[in-house]
């Protein structure tokens, strides 16, 4: 299983690195923001080519899918991204996925469990597959009607705008962005100048200071694995060392896509001494160019806050054993600190701290903040159903005996039946590059993103009632959740913080589903 997991990851990385969309005609760049075009030109130059090169790395792929008006090229890029590990070459992951699912099931049976999901969920808040499936299907019944309405609205819009008869997956981001701009007059590229990376980082540090009394000081005498990594000493109000914090922000060759938090040294107590942790966040943000600093999209801002929420869980740990420290908690609880942190990105009092124009220093206009909040639930039905589909696919692979599955594509289509909104793309499969569940440790746990959203909406509701910088609520959150790690059952910890079990209503309200 360990070797297969490694093979899976190597295949996905090889497929990602192998693909290049090489554009030589300027007309094919129509709609793309200037900084994205500049980055693509710099990449082409690096590779000794004329024109512009786009890749499957997120900072290249996502803007292309969102802004490029050439539908055929969007289709080409989307199909390339969707067939990673599903091509007739040495990086095909179909066998790997089938073998892994079967070996996981065999191990579970050897250990006396009905399935891999039963085995994994024993140490989760949800406890068993029945609870997970009913949670996902309950949310699906509330989210799907909204998703269908939104899909119809988007289809009608694309038809009116460009005569598109059938909305396809490669149209989703493009027309969503266009409609969002028309509805809210809110263009991600208009927001970018207000989100210079250094300012956002200082903003998240300031919020951590106001909530938890933490201070961050950049230092240059700590070993690091790459010159681009930044290192910070984190101290409390008494000046005592709390943690060492590392930040690695930009994509480079051989570095995995996505964003994550990791710990190089956990917090623990030994011989009366409290050993403080070394915590890192790794992202793949838009690089600075020759003419501009790193300017983040709003989505990248929320990613930074998300990973920093995980980092706080690691940095503020205060337990005896390293194996129960920080983020060593049940997996459907681990996303609470990260997802709750994202909420500050939508609050005026928080944004004023860091959302300043990189050239003029002007604070982000209030109407932009109002629109950010208003647009937060835009097309949330479609986003919810998409997220639930991944959770249901995960449970399909791991909540039953997989030995009868012999065709990955057919099996996947069966799992997606209840959540399918967009037409299927025959060349594409998700499972063969679904790194979360076949490489990242989220097998039987993908539902936990939505589960944690319920927790985070309910928890932030408490902050909003008392004030988003309430020291009292922050202290309760720190004492009962951030510092406790996995020392007690998460539901007990949550109830100690909140006074009751989490309610789903704040999430449904926030998402505009009720």
Q: Sheet of 230-235: strands edge to edge?
A: 215-219, 230-235, 241-248, 278-282, 260-265
Tell me how far apart the alpha carbons of residues 370 and 461 are, in angstroms, rounded to a whole number.
19
Instruction: Please list, in sequence order, all residues whose beta carbon lies within 8 angstroms of the beta carbon of residue 360, skipping any fewer than 6 positions away.
Output: none
CB 299 within 8 A of CB 46: no
Tokens linked to 85: 């590990």
Cβ-in-10-Å burial (0-12, 13-18, 19+) of 305 comes to buried
Tell me how far apart the alpha carbons of residues 175 and 172 are, in angstroms, rounded to a whole number.
6
First to last CA, the chain: 43
81 alpha-carbon distance from chain centroid: 17
Tokens linked to 495: 């109830």
Instruction: Please list, in sequence order, all residues whose beta carbon lies within 8 angstroms of the beta carbon of residue 29, skipping any fewer than 6 positions away.
Output: 23, 37, 40, 52, 68
Sign of CA dihedral 412, 413, 416, 421: positive
CB 246 within 8 A of CB 224: yes
Residue whose entry in the numeric block shows the structure tokens 């909305």: 167
Is 374 among the catalytic positions?
no
Tell me how far apart the alpha carbons of residues 466 and 477 are, in angstroms, rounded to a whole number.
13
Tell me how far apart the alpha carbons of residues 87 and 151 are, in angstroms, rounded to a whole number.
30
Tell me how far apart the alpha carbons of residues 453 and 449 are, in angstroms, rounded to a whole number.
6
Tell me how far apart the alpha carbons of residues 446 and 122 are, in angstroms, rounded to a whole number.
15
410 alpha-carbon distance from chain centroid: 27
Residue whose entry in the numeric block shows the structure tokens 């996981």: 104
| Catalytic site residue from 150, 307, 335, 380 | 307
Q: Which of 344, 354, 347 is nearest to 373 (CA)?
A: 347
Tell me how far apart the alpha carbons of residues 147 and 164 are, in angstroms, rounded to a whole number.
19
Sign of CA dihedral 446, 451, 452, 456: positive
Tell me how far apart the alpha carbons of residues 191 and 222 are, in angstroms, rounded to a whole number.
34
Catalytic residue annotation: 307
């Amino acid at each position: 299983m360990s070797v297969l997991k490694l093979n899976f990851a190597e295949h996905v990385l090889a497929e990602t690195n192998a693909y290049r969309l090489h554009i030589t005609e300027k007309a094919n760049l129509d709609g793309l923001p200037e900084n994205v075009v500049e980055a693509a030109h710099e990449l082409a130059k690096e590779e000794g080519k004329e024109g512009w090169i786009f890749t499957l790395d997120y900072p290249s792929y996502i803007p292309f899918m969102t802004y490029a008006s050439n539908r055929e090229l969007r289709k080409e890029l989307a199909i390339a991204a969707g067939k990673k590990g599903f091509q007739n070459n040495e990086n095909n992951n179909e066998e790997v996925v089938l073998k892994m699912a079967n070996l996981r099931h065999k191990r579970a049976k050897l250990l006396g469990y009905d399935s891999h999901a039963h085995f994994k969920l024993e140490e989760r808040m949800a406890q068993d597959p029945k609870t997970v499936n009913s949670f996902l299907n309950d949310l699906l019944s509330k989210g799907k009607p909204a998703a269908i309405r939104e899909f119809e609205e988007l289809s009608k819009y694309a038809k009116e705008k460009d005569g598109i008869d059938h909305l396809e997956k490669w149209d989703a981001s493009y027309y969503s962005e266009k409609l969002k701009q028309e509805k809210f007059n809110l263009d991600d590229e208009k927001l970018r100048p207000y989100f210079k990376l250094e300012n956002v980082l200082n903003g998240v540090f300031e919020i951590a200071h106001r909530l938890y009394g933490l201070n961050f000081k950049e230092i240059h005498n700590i070993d690091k694995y790459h010159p681009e990594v930044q290192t910070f000493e984190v101290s409390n109000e008494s000046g005592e060392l709390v943690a060492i914090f590392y930040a690695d922000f930009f994509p480079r060759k051989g570095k995995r896509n996505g964003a994550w938090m990791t710990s190089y040294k956990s917090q623990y107590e030994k011989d009366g001494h409290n050993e403080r942790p070394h915590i890192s966040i790794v992202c793949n943000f838009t690089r600075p160019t020759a003419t501009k600093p790193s300017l983040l999209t709003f989505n990248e801002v929320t990613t930074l806050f998300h990973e920093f929420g995980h980092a706080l869980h690691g940095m503020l740990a205060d337990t005896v054993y390293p194996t129960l420290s920080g983020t060593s908690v049940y997996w459907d609880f681990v996303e609470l600190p990260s997802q709750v942190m994202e909420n500050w990105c939508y609050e005026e009092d928080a944004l004023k701290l860091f959302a300043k124009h990189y050239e003029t220093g002007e604070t982000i206009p209030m109407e932009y903040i109002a629109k950010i909040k208003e647009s937060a639930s835009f097309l949330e039905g479609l986003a919810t159903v998409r997220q639930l589909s991944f959770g249901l696919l995960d449970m399909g692979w791991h909540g039953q005996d997989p030995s009868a599955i012999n065709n990955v594509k057919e099996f996947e289509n069966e799992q997606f039946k209840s959540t399918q909104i967009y037409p299927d793309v025959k060349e594409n499969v998700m499972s063969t590059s679904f790194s979360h569940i076949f490489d990242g440790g989220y097998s039987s746990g993908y539902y936990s993103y939505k589960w944690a959203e319920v927790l985070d909406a309910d928890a932030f509701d408490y902050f909003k009632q008392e004030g988003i910088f309430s020291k009292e609520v922050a202290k309760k959150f720190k004492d009962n959740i951030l510092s406790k790690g996995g020392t007690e059952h998460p539901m007990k910890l949550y109830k100690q913080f909140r006074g009751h079990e989490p309610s789903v209503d704040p999430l449904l309200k926030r998402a505009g589903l009720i």
